[in-house]
A and B are shown apart, each in its own frame.
Chain A
Amino acid sequence: MDMSLLDLACNIATGIAFATGSFFLLVGAFGIVRLPDFWSRLHAAGVIDTAGAEIILIGMMFQTGWDIATLKLILIAFLLFITSPTATHAVSNAAFVAGLRPQDLKKDETEQTLSDVPTAAIPYRSMLPESEPAAPSKSSSGEGSA
């Protein structure tokens, strides 16, 4: 009686976890199609590989009972937990170095953050003769107002 009740609870928990995880996977896939550019699509991919994948793995853990398969699932979840942000960062940093910028950027603090790092890979910096990235934008705005 007690064991069957526990099984029932585990099955219900698995169902809830699978439903939630599938929801995140579907919305993430939908977002990859719907969002306008590379940078915003990264966030939709983030929903898939963190929330979606982890919640489905948690749902599987309820089905294995407590044995070695549970430990293996925990190991897989841990690996995803460490590697998925690393991969996302690698992709986004490569895009940043290659000069890709978000569409319709509302706020840009790149200069405040990276201006004192001479090795930071800001693409337009290499086009300038001197290391003063703020100079051309100032002069162009001066001309515009004059």
Chain B
Amino acid sequence: MLRCIQQDAGTEMVKAISLTIALIALWLTLSGHFTPFLLAMGLASVLFTVYLAARMRLLDDEAVPVQLRPALVLYWVWLAVEIFKASVAVCRVILAREMKLSQQLIRVPWNQSTEMGRTIFANSITLTPGTITVETGKDAFLVHALTEDFTGADGFEEMGGKVTEVEVRHR
């Protein structure tokens, strides 16, 4: 799909600065050396990378998702708990003496307005053991579930609602 490149200069500037900060943090984390020579090399390569990204028009919502709300971190914590619960449920299925499988391909509607939000929702579904996003339709995902215990519509609705809350900073 073609990327949307219509955005004003201010937004692009914010994204460029955010990318610079993130890349400097990445360099410092991976290097761990703080000699002036290495810091200068790092800064030079970071600036060159940001220049290349801007020239390739990569500074959009997809590459630099600063439009996401910081509450995304809280969502990840909630998701980690859900992953743990679902993992235990899958382990129960695997370790049961008679495996009660009832595989299903079910429809899970989404209501996110941005592609980034839909991606986060689909990845969250896949990340939770027991459910895998297979394909996407016009207004819903096709999700494969291991047993009917994983197909609760309430659970998907709750997850989708939480993603919708964090997908855009201001509306």
Interface of A toward B, CB cutoff 8 Å: 23-24, 27-28, 30-31, 34-36, 39-40, 42-44, 46-47, 50-51, 54, 68, 71-72, 75, 81-82, 84-86, 88-89, 92-93, 96, 102-110, 112-114, 116-117, 120-121
Contact B138 A117, beta carbon cutoff 8 Å:
yes
Smallest beta-carbon distance B38→chain A, Å: 14
Smallest beta-carbon distance B90→chain A, Å: 5
A39 to B135, CA, bound (A): 14
Contact A109 B105, beta carbon cutoff 8 Å:
yes
Q: Is the interface of B mostly helix, strand, loop or mixed?
A: mixed
A107 to B146, CA, bound (A): 11
A114 to B124, CA, bound (A): 21
Contact B87 A47, beta carbon cutoff 8 Å:
yes
Contact B135 A85, beta carbon cutoff 8 Å:
no
**Given A88-B132, A105-B103, CB of A82 within 8 Å of CB of B123:** yes
Q: Is the interface of A mostly helix, strand, loop or mixed?
A: helix
Other 16 A-B pairs with CB < 8 A, given A46-B127, A92-B144: A27-B94, A28-B94, A35-B101, A39-B144, A50-B83, A50-B87, A68-B29, A75-B30, A86-B126, A92-B134, A93-B134, A104-B103, A105-B103, A108-B105, A113-B140, A120-B137
**Given A40-B146, A88-B132, CB of A106 within 8 Å of CB of B104:** yes
Interface of B toward A, CB cutoff 8 Å: 26, 29-30, 32, 76, 80, 83-84, 87, 90-91, 94-95, 99, 101-107, 122-124, 126-130, 132-135, 137-138, 140-142, 144, 146, 148, 151
Q: For residue A92, which residues in chain B have a CB less than 8 angstroms away from its CB?
A: 132-134, 144
Q: For residue B26, which residues in chain A have a CB less than 8 angstroms away from its CB?
A: 75
Closest chain B residue, CB of each to CB of A97 = B135
Closest chain A residue, CB of each to CB of B130 = A43
Q: For residue B133, which residues in chain A have a CB less than 8 angstroms away from its CB?
A: 89, 92
Contact A102 B138, beta carbon cutoff 8 Å:
no
**Given A31-B90, A88-B126, A113-B141, CB of A51 within 8 Å of CB of B135:** no
**Given A35-B99, A43-B129, A96-B134, CB of A105 within 8 Å of CB of B105:** yes
Contact A51 B107, beta carbon cutoff 8 Å:
no
A-B contact pairs, 7 of them (CB 8 A): A24-B87, A42-B144, A75-B29, A106-B102, A107-B104, A109-B105, A117-B138
Contact A31 B94, beta carbon cutoff 8 Å:
yes
A31 to B80, CA, bound (A): 21
A118 to B76, CA, bound (A): 35
A93 to B144, CA, bound (A): 11
**Given A47-B87, A113-B137, CB of A39 within 8 Å of CB of B103:** yes
Contact B129 A46, beta carbon cutoff 8 Å:
yes
